[in-house]
Every structure is written in C-alpha cells, then in structure tokens.
Amino acid sequence: MQIPIFTVDAFTNRPFSGNPAAVCLLENDLDEDLHQKIATEMNLSETAFIRKLHPGDDFSKKNTNSVLTFVTLSGELKARQVGDHIVLDLPLYKTSPQVLQEVEELIKAAVGNLIVQDLRYSPDTKKLLVRLSDTYERSVLEKLQVRAQDFLSAEKTGKVKGLILTLKGNSPGNHSGHDFYSRYFAPWVGVLEDPVTGSAHAVLSSYWSEHLGKKEMLAFQCSRRGGELKISLRSDGRVDIAGKIAIVLKGNLTF
C-alpha cells in the first residue's frame, strides 16, 4: 500500500520554522493502530489523516471554500483556506485572576526574577497565563532560558497542564506590528516547548483582546522555530486563527 504524505510547516511561509505537521491523504480508512504507527514513524505529534467523505472527491482539486473537519482528543477542529492562509476555527477561552501564592514556585521556575505584570488561569484548558512586564522587549522573552522539566516538580496544585508566557507587543523599535508575543510549555503532557500553539492562542486571544481593546490582532510565538498568527475574534464567541504554510516534504508511505 502507498499513502501520499506531506510535511507541512504551519504559521510560517519559510521552511524549517513554524509548527511542523505530517498530513496523510487516505483513500480508505485505516485502523487506529496503524495511525499511531505512522505518527511514530514520522516522529511528529501533529499527524493528520485526511479521508474522502465521498468516492468522487478529488484531492488534487483546489477548493478554497471547503472546510476540513479534524477529529482530535480535544474535539472537532475545523480548518479552511482563505487566500494564502489556513484558518482554524477555535473556541475562545476566558481567563480569571490567579493567586500568585498558589503557583509561586512554578512562576519562579519559569521566569526567575523577571517582573510578572499579570497572572491568569483558564479553567477550561487548564492553562496558566503569565504576562511579563511591559517594560521588557521581545528579546527578553526569546532569550529566557527555561527548563520546562523543572515545572513538573514545581507545580503543586495539580491544575496546571500548560504554561503560557506572554508579553505585550508594539514596543519602541518594533516595526513588525505584532500586538503580543508568547512562548508555550506543557511538560505535563509531554511537550517541553511547543513551536507554535493554536490552542494557547484561543486563551491569549481572549486575554489580549480585553486588554488591548482589539478584535483583530497579529501575534508571534517566540519559540526557536517561531511562528506568526493572525487573530480575528468573532461575535459567536469563537476565534479564527490564521497562518501561512510551507510544504517541505512530499512523498509516499509504502507498507
């Protein structure tokens, strides 16, 4: 059997940056065990399997009006193409103030002596949002040396499954137009640092929209690979998160 497969870097238009994912095009269903084996072979946690809903569907035809629905552990994820961007349709998650004393050891492990301007928690996603002082430049976030493995012993509450570090954009000398920056860590689920994270921006979008008074924003995730996200809050309580892609590999799986 041969299955067409692609490696795609998302939230970027440059190879070897953004968030890498494998995409398999399936003519027929595969069992779950084979899905797992293919994902292991590709060594990418983001491995998507796209199957035709109707026998007459043609993968080779471009249809920018079509919507792809992915079944994930977090529920259905819908994606569509708009121009040169892929748009993810995600729920918008609110945050509430977090008491510093409950997570003080975790914050210390993450940012050391850096000044924390705000601290929020998203109960729906179990993500802790840590906003650094507006006095810091983007480079402070990028150069921050983080040992995410230390978070496991530092987090005593048992309620945090993801840590977002974020910083307001548009600092002096910033010509990129980014409204905010972030980095994301989730060693509790096996991800020391994620290159670019759509789900984290479903939390960040809500937070920064409230604080900046904006529904349309441009964000940048400052991981080693880096990625840019266009954000648009909708009136139905959801958020569109868009990014460009770079296809870096095309081939066939043979087995």
Which residues form the catalytic set? 46
Per-residue b or e along 163-191, where b marks 16 or more CB atoms closer than 10 Å to that residue's CB: bbbbbbbeeeeeeeebbbbbbbbbbbeee
Q: Residue 98's CB: how many other CB atoms inside 10 A?
A: 20
Parallel/antiparallel/unpaired status of strands 227-233 and 47-51: unpaired
Q: What is the DSSP string of 128-192?
A: EEEEEPTTS-HHHHHH----GGGHHHH--SS--SEEEEEEE---TT--S--SEEEEEEEGGGTEE
Q: Which two tokens stand for residue 154?
A: 């530092």
**Whole-number Å distance between alpha carbons of 103 and 119:** 10
